[in-house]
């Protein structure tokens, strides 16, 4: 024990500010990667890989296994190539989130125009719930959804609650699919969206959610769009954004959420978690003074 403490003390004595910066950068990278894969199927794969690496390290350090060690050295390059292939969807999603960090709705829109959009969407969602008609309404943000608009029927019509009700009226030609809203207009209806590949819905207590919810999550995973889902079976409203879904909303809560998405946010000079840490240190310093 004394030898271990002396070695640790020796290491801390040789630790410079560059070493501290190096450790912090590596820690930040691992924290960022773990945050990205949290709540996805990649967590199970990552847990299995960590357990495998720990077991291999223990075996090779405690036992003299030359053949096994040679096999590991030989297969390590192939494993490093396989990891990006296995985690390809998560890596792609992470880069997309990083590229659109801080994205907001168009800030140049007038406040009255934004309120009209929100009122139309909320009113249509509530009336669809009352009539037990299903719907999926996708609100385009900074990432263009042109490839998904092309899969549907082009409308380019002024957004209104009555238009959305007519689109999603049961057994009409446009009701089966998504309506995509661009600015204050309905760009297209009956659009085909990508299904979610994260497995979020399959692990939820309510696994019977259908294709609308999976499509809403899917479009939120590949873009910065906000998807409003109306369930005809359960009579509830859900909102999907950034690969996450908020469920069991009423008209007032839906309005508050959409207002929060439309509200312009001031640009951040530092990441949110770092700003939180610095603010806590500032409050602690104020109390100490």
Residue 271 in domain: no
Residue 279 in domain: no
Q: Which of 95, 111, 74, 103 is nearest to 222 (CA)?
A: 95
In the structure, what pLDDT confidence band is assigned to residue 192 with cuts at 50, 70 and 90? very high
Helix extents (H) in the chain: 2-13, 17-37, 42-62, 66-86, 88-99, 111-130, 146-149, 161-167, 211-222, 251-262, 272-288
Phi and psi of 244, rounded to 5°?
Answer: -125, 155
Q: Residue 55: how many CA atoms within 13 Å on its side-chain side?
A: 7
In the structure, what pLDDT confidence band is assigned to residue 45 with cuts at 50, 70 and 90? low
Mean pLDDT of 267-278: 51
Evaluate whether 174 touches 186 at the Cβ level (below 8 Å): no
Q: Residue 89: how many CA atoms within 13 Å on its side-chain side?
A: 14
In the structure, what pLDDT confidence band is assigned to residue 60 with cuts at 50, 70 and 90? confident
Looking at the structure, do residues 253 and 121 belong to the same domain, yes or no? yes
Indicate the number of domains in the chain. Answer: 2
Looking at the structure, do residues 94 and 138 belong to the same domain, yes or no? no
Separation CA 102–CA 98 (nearest Å): 9
Phi and psi of 51, rounded to 5°?
Answer: -65, -40
Looking at the structure, do residues 216 and 146 belong to the same domain, yes or no? yes
Q: pLDDT, tens digit, for every residue of 93-152? A: 666 666 655 444 444 455 678 888 999 999 999 999 998 899 999 999 877 888 899 999
Separation CA 283–CA 80 (nearest Å): 44
Mean pLDDT of 160-182: 92
Could you say which of 42, 70, 99 is where a domain stops? 99
Looking at the structure, do residues 160 and 124 belong to the same domain, yes or no? yes
Q: What percentage of residues in the chain have a pLDDT greater than 70? A: 70
Q: pLDDT, tens digit, for every residue of 69-90? A: 777 778 777 777 776 776 666 6
- At 183, which CATH number? 3.40.1700.10
Q: Tell me what pLDDT residue 31 has.
A: 80
* Full residue range of the structural domain in which residue 162 is found: 111-262
Residue 288 in domain: no
Q: How many CB atoms lie within 10 A of CB 271?
A: 12
Compute the mean pLDDT over every residue in the chain, rounded to the nearest whole number.
77
Residue 286 in domain: no
Looking at the structure, do residues 79 and 129 belong to the same domain, yes or no? no
Separation CA 59–CA 65 (nearest Å): 8
Q: Is the pTM here over 0.75, yes or no?
A: no
Looking at the structure, do residues 118 and 91 belong to the same domain, yes or no? no
């Amino acid at each position: 024990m004394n030898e271990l403490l002396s070695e640790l003390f020796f290491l801390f004595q040789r630790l410079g500010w560059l070493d501290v910066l190096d450790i912090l950068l590596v820690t930040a990278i691992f924290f960022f990667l773990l945050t990205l894969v949290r709540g996805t199927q990649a967590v199970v794969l990552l847990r299995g890989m960590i357990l495998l690496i720990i077991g291999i390290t223990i075996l090779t350090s405690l036992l003299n296994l030359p053949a096994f060690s040679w096999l590991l050295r030989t297969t390590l390059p192939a494993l490093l190539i396989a990891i990006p292939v296995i985690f390809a969807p998560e890596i792609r999603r992470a880069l997309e989130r990083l590229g659109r960090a801080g994205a907001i709705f168009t800030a140049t829109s007038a406040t009255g125009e934004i309120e009209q959009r929100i009122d139309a969407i909320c009113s249509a969602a509530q009336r669809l719930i009352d009539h037990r008609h299903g719907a999926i309404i996708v609100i385009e943000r900074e990432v263009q959804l042109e490839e998904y608009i092309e899969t549907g029927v082009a409308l380019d019509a002024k957004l209104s609650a009555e238009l959305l009700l007519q689109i999603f009226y049961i057994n009409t030609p446009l009701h089966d699919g998504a309506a995509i809203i661009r600015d204050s207009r309905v760009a297209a209806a009956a659009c085909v969206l990508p299904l979610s590949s994260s497995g979020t819905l399959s692990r939820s207590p309510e696994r019977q959610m259908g294709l609308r919810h999976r499509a809403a999550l899917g479009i939120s995973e590949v873009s910065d769009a906000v998807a409003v889902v109306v369930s005809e079976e359960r009579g509830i409203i859900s909102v999907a954004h950034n690969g996450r879904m908020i469920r069991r909303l009423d008209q007032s809560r839906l309005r508050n959420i959409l207002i929060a998405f439309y509200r312009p946010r001031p640009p951040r000079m530092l990441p949110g978690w770092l700003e939180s840490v610095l603010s806590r240190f500032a409050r602690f310093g104020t109390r100490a003074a």
